[in-house]
């Protein structure tokens, strides 16, 4: 989600159209709202809290930094532990053990490259515990194992309808679509 907005923002900077700038701004707001709803209703929801002893959500993005990711996940999964691990091998071992000892939900949001996932995957006891990992990615090579939910792309008509609803909300009710 964050990546889509970064791409849109870059395009916005090269285009002088006020309509496109407004659309990008509204798309950013909509994406932020969708992510907030997902986090509040699902990630922080009662059912997830009852099911998992610990949860962690971290955005990976294109600025992949494994040490920062490992430390961020550990801080969320083990909030009362002191940060004593220094090298990646130690961080991976601690993160792996924490997920075997507790039933954890870990969300890795926006993984761009298969190489990045391959550097992270050793920190997760996949299939060895009640812990679960959820990855979001656009890369089919990453999303190849386990349960994969593919989002349906909008048709051209659906895309234009969505754009008009967002970019031109006052005019939307007056728009007639040609077949």
Could you give the CA distance from residue 1 to residue 111 in angstroms, rounded to a whole number? 11
Answer yes or no: is pLDDT of 158 > 70: yes
Residue 120 is predicted with a pLDDT of 93
Environment class of 9 (CB within 10 Å of its CB; exposed 0-12, middle 13-18, buried 19+): middle
Could you give the CA distance from residue 179 to residue 156 in angstroms, rounded to a whole number? 12
Model confidence, pTM: 0.68
C-alpha pair distances (Å), 76 with each of 45, 57, 71, 179: 16, 8, 9, 51
Residue 71 is predicted with a pLDDT of 94
Answer yes or no: is pLDDT of 175 > 50: no
Q: What is the band of 14 on the pLDDT scale with cuts at 50, 70, 90?
A: low
* Cβ pair 105, 134 in contact under 8 A: yes
Q: Which of 35, 37, 56, 33 has the alpha carbon at shortest distance from 45? A: 37
Could you give the CA distance from residue 146 to residue 51 in angstroms, rounded to a whole number? 20
Residue 12 is predicted with a pLDDT of 52
Q: Who wins on pLDDT, 36 or 120?
A: 120
Mean pLDDT of the residues in the chain: 78
- Average pLDDT for 33-37: 69
């Amino acid at each position: 989600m964050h990546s889509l907005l970064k791409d849109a923002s870059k395009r916005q900077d090269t285009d002088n159209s006020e309509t496109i700038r407004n659309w990008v701004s509204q798309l950013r707001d909509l994406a932020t709202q969708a992510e907030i709803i997902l986090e509040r209703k699902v990630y922080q929801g009662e059912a997830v809290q009852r099911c998992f002893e610990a949860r962690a959500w971290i955005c990976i993005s294109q600025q992949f930094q494994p040490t920062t990711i490992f430390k961020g996940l550990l801080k969320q999964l083990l909030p009362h532990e002191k940060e004593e691990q220094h090298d990646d091998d130690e961080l991976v071992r601690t993160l792996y053990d924490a997920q075997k000892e507790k039933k954890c939900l870990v969300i890795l949001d926006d993984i761009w490259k298969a190489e990045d996932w391959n550097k992270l995957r050793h920190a997760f006891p996949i299939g060895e515990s009640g812990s679960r990992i959820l990855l979001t990615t656009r890369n089919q090579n990453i999303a190849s194992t386990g349960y994969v939910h593919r989002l349906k792309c909008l048709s051209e008509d659906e895309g234009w309808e969505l754009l008009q609803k967002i970019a031109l909300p006052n005019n939307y009710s007056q728009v007639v679509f040609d077949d």
